[in-house]
Chain A
Amino acid sequence: MTSIQMPQLGETIVEGTILKWLKNEGDEVKADEPLFEISTDKVDTEVPSPVAGTVTKLLVAEGTTVPVGTAVMEIDDGSGASGNGSSAPEPAAAVPAAETPAAAPAQPPAMGASAAPPSPAPQVQPSGQPAPAPSVTMPDRGPRSNILSPIVRKLAHDRGIDLTTIAGTGEGGRITKADVLAATAAPAASSGTVTPLPSAGPAAAAVMVAPPSMPAGQGEDAQPMSHVRKAIAGHMLASAQQTARAWTMVEVNVDRLVRLRAEIKEKFQANFGVKLTYLPMVTRATIDALQQFPLVNSRLDGENIVTPRFVNMGIAVSYDAGLIVPVVKGADGMNTVGIARAIADLAARARSHQLQPDEVQGATFTITNPGPYGSLVSVPIINQPNAGILSLDAIQKRPVVVEDDAIAVRSMVYISMSWDHRLIDGELATRFLARVKHNLETWDFAEDLGL
C-alpha cells in the first residue's frame, strides 16, 4: 500500500488544491501516470504516480486545499505494506534508486522512498535527472520603500489631486489608484485638492524693496532683467528670507567611484548613450538616504509637515538664461542608469529651452553640482519648498590619514547640505549626510550600472 501525498514543489509553496482526480477508486495506474491535478498560487501541475497498482482510496474531495505532505490518495501496489510505506509521488517518482530517503522529518514529502519507475533510455538531459543548478545568486534587494506607484502619481497629476490630502487605504496606508479615483469622484471629501507651489509673486515684490535707485553712469551698461532672472531673484530671496537655513558638510572618500568610472565610462556610454558622471551615483545614494530619513524629503505647508512617499529629485542646471531646476519625477523608482538618462535628457532639453512647465515643478529635494566648475565648498540656497539642498562639489586628490596613521593620496569630495532648521535639526541633517557618505563609500555601483 502506498499513500500519495500533496507534493512539495518548493519550500515556499506550503499548500495545494486538488483540482481534479484523474483516477478514481478502483482504477489501475501505471508508474508515472498522472493521478490528479493540483493548483498552487502560481503553479499548476499534474501529479504522477510513483508506483504501478490500483487506486484504493481518494482521501479528500476535489477543490480541497491541503498542506504539503497531506495524504490524499492510497494505491495498492501489491507490496502489502501499509502505513509505513507512505510515499510522496513526486519528486520521489524520478529519484534514482541510489538516492536515500530524506532523514529530515520536517520535510516528509521532500523525498519518500519508492520504486523508481522504468525510464526510457535518455537521449538528452533527462527531465528527471538533477538539473545542474544554475549558480546564480539572486541578491536580496532589501525591503521595498514605502513609495507611491507611478500610476497613482500620474492619475493624481492628471486629475489635479494633491496626494498629500488623500488618506491611503492600501496596505501600510499607501495611496492606491482607487483612493485617487474616490478623491476625484468626491472632491468635497478631501480637505482641499490642489496645493499650488509657492510662486515667486510675493518674493518678486520683495525685489522691488531695493535701495535707492542708482542708474547706470559713465562706463556702465544697463539692461532690463530677463523674466528668468527676475524669477530666480524672487525665488532665491524668498528662500533666504523665509527659511531658517543651516549648513552641514561631510567629506567622502570616492576613490572607488573614481576608479569604477574610469574603468567603465566608455562601455557605459556605448551601452546607454549617455556619459557616466558622478551625479547619478550621488543622486541614487541620496535617494536612499531620503528614504531612510523621510523628513529631509518633506516640506512645510502652513503648520503641517508634508512628507511625500516618493522622491522627485530636482537637479540644478545652469544654462544661458540662468539657472533652472528640472525634476526627475519618480526618481526612487529608477536605478543609476535610469537616473543618468533622465538627468542627461532633462539637462539637454533645459539647455535647448525645451522643458515643459511641469518638468520644473514638484521637486521634493534638490541637488546642485558646482563641482565641474572647480568649487570645493558651496553653501546653496534652499529650493523652496524643499527642506534641503545637497551640494556636490569638486572631486580632488588629497592626502588623507588612512589606517595605521599612514598618509595616502585618495580622491575626496566635500558633500554638503543647506537645510531648513524649521523642519530639520542638526542631528538629522548629519545622520542623513553620513548615510549618503556611507552609501557612496560602500555601495557596489557596478551592478546598478548594468555592467
Chain B
Amino acid sequence: MAEGRAAWLLRPEGLVDYDVANEAMHDLARRRLADEIPDAVIVLQHPPVFTAGRRATADELLWDEVTVAARGGAVRRIDRGGSFTFHGPGQLVAYPIVGLGSRPDAAAHLRRLEEVAIRTCADVGVAADRRADVQTGVWVGDDKICAIGVRLLRTRVTLHGMALNCDTDLAWFDGIVACGLPDRGVTSLARVLGRDVPVAEVAPTAVGHIADVFGLTFIDPPDDVVRPFVAAAVA
C-alpha cells in the first residue's frame, strides 16, 4: 500500500464522555471543512449512552429515561443518519473526519467503514459480512456486530462513524430497537468466539485497517487537539 495522505490519529484512553467527544468531533470537522487541518480519526470507547439518529422514533427507545439513568446510561439525540444505537464499554468506536473530495460519495464512505469492520472481525476469527437485504452495517448471520451512522458537513466532510461490539454488555441493546430493525439481534466478538475480546486486543488492527481502507498515514496531532478528549476520559 502506497503512503496515504497524512491524518491525525486520536486514541484517547479510558471511557470518553459522549457530549465532550461529540463537540470536539464537530469542532474538528468544522476546521477540516475550512481546510485548516488534515483528516483525523478518533478511536475511543464511551460510557453507556444511547444515541438517536435523525431517523429514530421515540417508540424505538424501549426503556424510559429513568430506567436508563438508573442503569448508569444516558440518552442523546444527535445529528447523524440512522436510528437508535448504543455505545458503551467494550465497544470500539471510530470516528473518521475525512474530506470526501469534490465528488463526495457517501455510499463509498459507508462501504469503507464496513470493510474496516469486516477485516477487523476476520483478524480475530469472526466471519462478518454485509447483508444483501439491509443497506448498511456488518453482520454475523442475523445479528449486527457493527453499527454505522454518518453525518456530512456540506456533503464534503464526514462525522460520526462505526461502533464495533468487542465485549460490549449486549444487555444494553434490550433498551432499544437497534437501528430500527425489530427482528434483528446484536452480537459481539466475545459472544461469537465464546471468549473475552477486549477492545485493546482489536484496536491496533482496526487502526491499521482504517489506514489501509481510507488510504491514510497516521501522524500525531498537536497537544491542544488531544486535550479535550483526555480531560473527558473517565476512569
Contacts and interface: CB of A to CB of B under 8 A. Distances in A.
B51 interface: no
B142 A152 contact: yes
A124 B143 contact: no
B155 A91 contact: yes
A450 B123 contact: yes
Contacts of A11: 105, 107
Contacts of B102: 91, 94-96, 99, 128-130
Nearest to A176: B183
B35 A127 contact: yes
Contact of B185 (A125, A151, A330): A151
B224 interface: no
B106 A40 contact: yes
Given A90-B104, A151-B191, A45 B152 contact: yes
Contacts of B184: 176
Interface in A34-81: 34, 39-48
Contacts of B124: 337-338
B9 to A, nearest CB: 16
Contacts of B104: 9-10, 90-91
A143 interface: yes
* Most B C-beta atoms less than 10 A away, residue of A44, A176, A339, A450: A44
Interface string A89-109: 011011110010000000000
Contacts of B127: 332-335, 338
Given A149-B142, A149-B187, A177-B183, A129 B101 contact: yes
A12 interface: yes
B101 A42 contact: no
Given A9-B104, A151-B191, A174-B142, A42 B136 contact: yes
B42 interface: no
Contact of B183 (A13, A19, A123, A178): A178
B69 interface: no
A125 B124 CA distance: 35
B98 interface: yes
* Most B C-beta atoms less than 10 A away, residue of A91, A95, A341, A342: A91
A446 B42 CA distance: 30
B141 A148 contact: yes
Nearest to B143: A149
B126 A41 contact: no
A450 to B, nearest CB: 5
Contact of A46 (B36, B152, B186): B152
A120 interface: yes
Interface stretch (A134-142, A206-214, A347-355, A382-390): A134-142
B198 interface: no
A93 B104 CA distance: 11
Nearest to A10: B107
Interface in B179-235: 183-187, 191-193, 212-215
Given A42-B135, A43-B81, A46-B153, 12 more contacts: A9-B105, A39-B81, A44-B152, A45-B106, A46-B152, A91-B102, A123-B36, A131-B5, A131-B98, A135-B1, A143-B132, A340-B125
Interface of B: 1-2, 4-5, 32-39, 53-55, 79-82, 98-112, 115, 118, 122-127, 129-133, 135-136, 139-143, 148-157, 183-187, 191-193, 212-215
